[in-house]
């Protein structure tokens, strides 16, 4: 009887080790050298706002056309290792009828899915939010896995202001990130852990450093409390950067130095990779900052990118909603992706922006 119990325990441990190994393998693929993650998970209202800037109506058909333009760009897999999809998008297909997730997988690109339900007002804390979406998440993850997703994304939104963020805001968002992460790993999916400190405001880079330190420290404590395997996650943080309205904004070298210092002090070495969000930076700023950080390497984790607007703003404008501009849109997307690929090794130069 005791021998039978021992055999069962050994099998359970072996299965757990296999699952963790698989998660780590997926995470490593997501931050593969010279590549990064395309965040194409804009909600329907958000992509509607983006389309409005190019006078294009946001319909299911136009959204499929736009995403198909990005995903089927020639040689995309040279620069992109993963794509975050939205619920609608993971159910759509290429123009040839191949499900997007299946098509990306065939290129060696890992498909992922946004699973949070957005930031909602935090009760009793005016101006602060908590991200919702935990209810029913286990079942949704099972469905997304069957649709081909192998990682997920959850974004916590934390602002800097007078007496903000509060510890309550940091705590509830860290707890939600940890519960989401545990559910993802249970479902054999890698969680992207995204605690975003917003650029909005006139705060200094020093304030951003202090807040980012406090948030990351707490997030990792709660992740460990929830028994999340740190070698099976990807961290998607903000860079340590001056507020958008700061009177004296820090330069590229200062941002790079402060960000690497903050991460080195707060991110455990076993985390496979850090894929930065662009957070309102221009395309050029996001690439320059990433390159400067990688130039300071080597680092214990891969320093990669998971950009939305910083990868899409230029191709969106080049496409402008017109079928005759699809190739121009792809060319703009590939150029932006290639420049960020160069930034992965610290080899980006702003002069490259002018080259064809």
Residue 9: CB atoms within 10 A of its CB come to 10
User: Is residue 3 left, alpha or beta, with left meaning phi > 0 and alpha meaning psi from -120 to 50?
Assistant: alpha
Question: Are the CB atoms for 311 and 39 separated by under 8 Å?
Answer: yes
The residues annotated with a catalytic role in the active site are 194, 236
Q: Report the alpha-carbon distance of residue 143 to residue 127 in Å, rounded.
A: 34
Tokens of 139: 């079942």
Bridge partners (DSSP) of residue 193 are 154, 235
């Amino acid at each position: 009887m005791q021998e039978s119990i021992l055999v069962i325990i050994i099998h359970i441990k072996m299965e757990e080790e296999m699952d963790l190994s698989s998660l780590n393998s997926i995470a490593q693929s997501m931050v593969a050298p010279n590549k990064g993650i395309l965040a194409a998970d804009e909600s329907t209202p958000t992509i509607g706002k983006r389309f409005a800037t190019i006078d294009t109506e946001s319909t299911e058909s136009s959204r499929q056309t736009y995403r198909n333009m990005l995903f089927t760009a020639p040689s995309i897999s040279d620069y992109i290792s993963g794509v975050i999809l939205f619920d609608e998008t993971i159910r759509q297909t290429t123009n040839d009828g191949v499900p997007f997730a299946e098509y990306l997988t065939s290129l060696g690109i890992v498909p992922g899915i946004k699973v949070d339900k957005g930031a909602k007002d935090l009760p009793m804390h005016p101006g602060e939010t908590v991200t919702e979406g935990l209810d029913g998440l286990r079942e949704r993850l099972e469905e997304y896995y069957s649709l081909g997703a192998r990682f997920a994304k959850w974004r916590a939104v934390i602002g800097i202001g007078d007496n903000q963020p509060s510890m309550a805001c940091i705590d509830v968002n860290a707890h939600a990130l940890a519960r989401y992460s545990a559910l993802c790993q249970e479902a054999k999916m890698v969680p992207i852990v995204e605690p975003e400190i917003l650029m909005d405001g006139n705060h200094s880079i020093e304030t951003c450093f202090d807040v980012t330190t406090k948030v990351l420290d707490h997030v990792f404590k709660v992740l460990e409390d929830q028994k999340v395997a740190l070698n099976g996650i990807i961290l998607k943080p903000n860079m340590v950067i001056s507020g958008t309205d700061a009177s004296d904004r820090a330069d590229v070298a200062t941002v790079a130095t402060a960000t690497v210092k903050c991460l080195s002090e707060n991110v455990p070495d076993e985390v496979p990779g850090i894929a930065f969000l662009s957070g309102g930076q221009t395309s050029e700023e996001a690439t320059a900052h990433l390159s400067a950080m990688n130039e300071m390497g080597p680092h214990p984790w891969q320093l990669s990118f998971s950009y939305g607007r910083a990868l899409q703003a230029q191709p969106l404008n080049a496409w402008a909603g017109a079928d005759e501009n699809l190739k121009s849109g792809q060319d703009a997307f590939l150029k932006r992706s290639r420049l960020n690929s160069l930034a992965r090794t610290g080899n980006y130069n702003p002069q490259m922006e002018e080259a064809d």
